[in-house]
Structure 1
């Protein structure tokens, strides 16, 4: 009888393997399921952690790629409309990118022209508003002037200690500028050659994987396009509604605050809340607590109308996610990559969910019947 490397005979090794299988089978099904699912969860979390670390290390590139894909899905209908006018692919893509750049510069110039003259007036109103806010806090809350001065002094020292390093600020500005330029260049190439790139990728898949890959790709792209366009429409509605309320209440810097509300709409739940809080704080400092309460009521009313009435009409059912899933995704994205991670976490979650659901549905479909054998 020949022994194996561990000093055991093949029969002993077989007996030990059979004993291990019997021991595993003797465990309750709940314990076995918990072990298997825990192992799968550990592998998935480890993979996501590694991907997150790589994305953080390559943050400028990751942000540029995410912005490029999002903008491509948003501007693809514009590029297709230009292609229907018999324009070449390169010219249609270039005009679409120039339209985006012109829109961004136009909005920036409009914001500056409308608000440049309000800053001097705002500084005086903020001084008076802060004094009114101080009197309101000390008269309604159990806080004395000395305690409030102590808290303000501590906050001022923390801000001074956390001042931005000029070298680090210059490096961050260079990274942001480089990421923006890279995103514009990649946006041009994806608008021009995106479909040919996808067909080339699809041609490398063979057999039954080709069909499921094509279907999952179509569903994922449609989901991203519907999400990007729906989010932009909802953010615009929020910005217009809150902006009108700020103008009617004569709150300074109404247009920039509406613009902050628009960009905050791209971060679900959290972004709209933060943008509304900024508007309320500006109204409180500049116009007092009564105007701030009116602004708060306007923000709540606009967000309730948007969330309960407009969002179900604008967003397709397959794009919408449960609020708990959105909160978890936004929190995870914020912890991994800050504001940029919070902005892209929800569309990534929606696309991944739709792709996984499509693949699962494709596997559950009954197999096509085998062809009948040919007769003699």
Structure 2
């Protein structure tokens, strides 16, 4: 090093050199994380298919193991599990489609009556809108509806979603059939002195994901059944479709239940009027309070143990990166990472607490 450089380095405070080094390291790490995120966004359908297959395997794994216990071959047990899942999904869609088609004429009449009721409320209600303002709102709604009509881009997105769905089912089959064997082979790539810690970390993370998936299914069923009973009792149309929407929306924590409840209240208002809408709103709030104060603490606290702020941030980041699918997989991904790190540290502490193996000198001394 030149003398001038030595004198210049001596004049720079040590804390400034340390801060510069830390900032430089953070910039390099941040650039690497950004590049990784961009790569994951590019291959987002494949990544989401992998994550969805893993989540479904956590849910359907016990069924596949029970079929294996009946002495079925591994490939047959996995295939039957995947076919059962596909049958449930397609059966739900067909059942709802048949119900909607059978009620189409009634729905059209109720929609027309609901729109007239909404027009009267806008004119004579607290807003006191005039016909020109109502016409502007109607035109804006028509433009939004026309823009939402599927076009070539939507067809491409539908093909992409269909491809991701088929890939998810194929991956689910192979995970159910070869999951344990593939993991044992993967652990052979880890150095021997780290293998125990990595295995403990993966087991802890996978255990949390399994509990999360089972817990969220229980919560989704309770939400769908509770709100569905209220919709059926109040004779709200499209009750089955709203029940399915509630069940699916429950897989997006915090946000999904609010969206599904809003849709149910809107349909009740248009079809049955404000009194029915208020009763549906009361039922939705009651179910959500039951979920938030009883089900989540009992079912999800053991699995996730994440602060609500972390959950909200994870949902926001997942939505920005991959839309609704990203919001669904964000929380279990964070839970897996958190519990995997905790499991790795616990295994490391357990290894350090173990007594050291005896050496040759100790053995000779004992003799």
Question: Match of 2:51?
Answer: 66
Matching of residue 85 in structure 1 with residue 85 in structure 2: no
Question: Match of 2:135?
Answer: 149
Question: Match of 1:281?
Answer: 266
Once the two structures are superposed, the pairs formed by residues 285-324 of structure 1 within 5 Å of their partners are: 285-324=270-309
Question: Match of 2:334?
Answer: 349
Matching of residue 207 in structure 1 with residue 192 in structure 2: yes
State the Cα RMSD in Å.
2.4
1:118 Cα deviation after fit: 1.4
1:345 Cα deviation after fit: 0.7
Q: Contact between 2:59 and 2:214, CA under 8 Å: does it hold in 1?
A: yes
Once the two structures are superposed, the pairs formed by residues 52-201 of structure 1 within 5 Å of their partners are: 52-145=37-130, 146-161=132-147, 163-165=149-151, 167-201=152-186
The gaps in structure 1 that reach 5 residues or longer are none
Q: Contact between 2:196 and 2:347, CA under 8 Å: does it hold in 1?
A: no
Residues paired across the two proteins, number: 360
Q: Flag the 1:286–1:149 CA change in 2: closer, same or farther, 3 A.
A: same
Separation in structure 1 between the aligned mates of residue 26 and residue 232 of structure 2, nearest angstrom: 51
Q: Flag the 1:159–1:52 CA change in 2: closer, same or farther, 3 A.
A: farther
Q: Flag the 1:160–1:103 CA change in 2: closer, same or farther, 3 A.
A: closer
1:364 Cα deviation after fit: 4.4
1:224 Cα deviation after fit: 1.0
Question: For 1:244, which of 220, 224, 229 is the aligned residue?
Answer: 229
Spell out, residue by residue over 1:137-188, the C-alpha distance to the aligned partner (whole angstroms, 9 max, x if none). Answer: 33233341221221221332344356442x2222222212211111111111
Q: Contact between 2:203 and 2:340, CA under 8 Å: does it hold in 1?
A: no
Q: Contact between 1:265 and 1:271, CA under 8 Å: does it hold in 2?
A: yes
The gaps in structure 2 that reach 5 residues or longer are none
Q: Contact between 2:205 and 2:343, CA under 8 Å: does it hold in 1?
A: no
1:316 Cα deviation after fit: 4.5
Question: Match of 2:356?
Answer: 370
Q: Contact between 2:79 and 2:173, CA under 8 Å: does it hold in 1?
A: yes
The TM-score normalised by the length of structure 2 is: 0.90
1:324 Cα deviation after fit: 1.3
Separation in structure 1 between the aligned mates of residue 345 and residue 8 of structure 2, nearest angstrom: 38
Separation in structure 1 between the aligned mates of residue 100 and residue 57 of structure 2, nearest angstrom: 31
Spell out, residue by residue over 1:304-329, the C-alpha distance to the aligned partner (whole angstroms, 9 max, x if none). Answer: 10121122222252423222111111
Greater shift in the superposed pair: 302-311 or 53-62: 53-62
Q: Flag the 1:43–1:266 CA change in 2: closer, same or farther, 3 A.
A: farther
The TM-score normalised by the length of structure 1 is: 0.88
Q: Flag the 1:54–1:374 CA change in 2: closer, same or farther, 3 A.
A: same
Q: Flag the 1:220–1:34 CA change in 2: closer, same or farther, 3 A.
A: farther
1:14 Cα deviation after fit: 5.4
1:61 Cα deviation after fit: 1.3
